[in-house]
Amino acid sequence: MLSAETDILKAAESWRRDGRQVALATVVETWGSAPRPVGSHLVVDEDGNFLGSVSGGCVEGAVITEGLEAIADGHPRVIEFGVADETAWRVGLSCGGRIRVFVERID
């Protein structure tokens, strides 16, 4: 596991320098019980390799998929997971809170 959020940002920068296509996901809002705080990051490349965490594992798969789509189409997006959202249960966010994640391609 990386020791700090800055390590994840440095990895994203390094991956871009190496010519990899990269998307960055950032927790921008939480409510109630949330597994990771605002400012937490996950970086993903075009092959699905990733570092970091935005949810302690419970919604990472969905965030990675959104990151791959952001790489492909270049459009940033905000995604939200919470207990009132049927998707949250499907991806495993049963902690009782809500998170909002901003996903963007890094050019």
- The total number of structural domains that make up the chain: 1
Closest listed residue to residue 44, CA positions, set 19, 63, 18? 63
- Do residues 63 and 25 touch, judged by C-beta distance below 8 A? yes
Q: Is 3 exposed, middle or buried (0-12, 13-18, 19+ CB in 10 A)?
A: exposed
pLDDT tens per residue across all 107 residues of the chain = 445 777 999 999 999 999 999 999 999 999 877 888 999 999 999 999 999 999 866 688 999 999 999 999 999 999 998 755 555 555 555 566 789 999 999 99
Give the range of the structural domain holding residue 84, as residue numbers without chain letter. 5-106
- pTM of the entire predicted model: 0.85
Query: How many CB atoms lie under 10 A from the CB of residue 97?
Result: 16
- Amino acid identity of residue 3, one-letter, is S
